Amino acid sequence: MADDIPVNEEMDAAKDAATEPAVSEDIVTATDETVAEPVETAPAPSPSDDFQWYALQTYSGHEKKVKMLLEKKVQDHVAKTKEDPPIREVIVPTQEVVEIKGGKRVKLTKRLYPGYVLIQMLLDQHTMFLVNSVPGVIKFVGGGEDPQPLKSEEINKILGIADELEEQGPETEIPFRPGQVVEVMEGPFSDFSGTVEEVFAEKGKVRVQVSLFGRPTSVELDYTQLEGF
């Protein structure tokens, strides 16, 4: 092209232009009273923005032990480094149930998700090593090389279920099922045998079909009045 300039001449021209003083039509004389206006910068993101919920697979029956060990490791880390804890919360979702033990109602705490622990943490190599080094932990739940955080709707549902169950109080766990043959141990139908038709866990009742005067009759009984075969 006719307008092409040799590379060396173009670089020299750029160099000369860079060394020439800038000329301004408006000249302002700076004084000692001139104060530079502060430059506004965007605030640094809060570390809490990076906290995510993850699910850990554990050996069944080791959930509470894993929770305890993780919390202990976090306490030791904070005491040693004086830094904010990289793990915010560890929970084992549970619910209260009532079962019959030796003919008496016993309140028990049962795990909602046996073999799993939920953890809210900042994910990095250090925290991954810390978690995986805890006895009883099998692995993070999620595909791929890196652990996958739980979605908002997933953790909200899980935590919502736990909160709802806590508000409702203990749930009665009735040890009978439809079609099961049972014997009535107490009440006006004592010594009658029958078949379970339906279980009402929320009321602690069981509907049983018994033979009354040679005719099948459905009666609703407290589950503590029954004994299964």
Confidence of residue 10 (pLDDT cuts 50, 70, 90): very low
- Domain definitions of the chain by residue range: 49-172, 181-228
Confidence of residue 143 (pLDDT cuts 50, 70, 90): low
Domain 49-172 has CATH 3.30.70.940: yes
The per-residue pLDDT for 160 is 74
CATH classification for the domain delimited by 181-228, as one of 3.40.190.10, 2.20.25.650, 2.30.30.30, 3.90.1150.10:
2.30.30.30
pLDDT digits (tens, 9 = 90+) for 19-70: 444 444 443 444 444 444 444 443 433 343 589 999 999 998 999 999 999 9
The per-residue pLDDT for 163 is 59
Helix residue spans in 94-226 (DSSP H): 125-132, 152-168
Instruction: Give CB contacts under 8 A, 24+ apart, made by 147-154.
Output: 147/54, 147/123, 148/54, 149/52, 149/53, 149/54, 149/123, 150/52, 150/53, 150/54, 150/55, 150/118
The per-residue pLDDT for 131 is 93
The per-residue pLDDT for 30 is 40
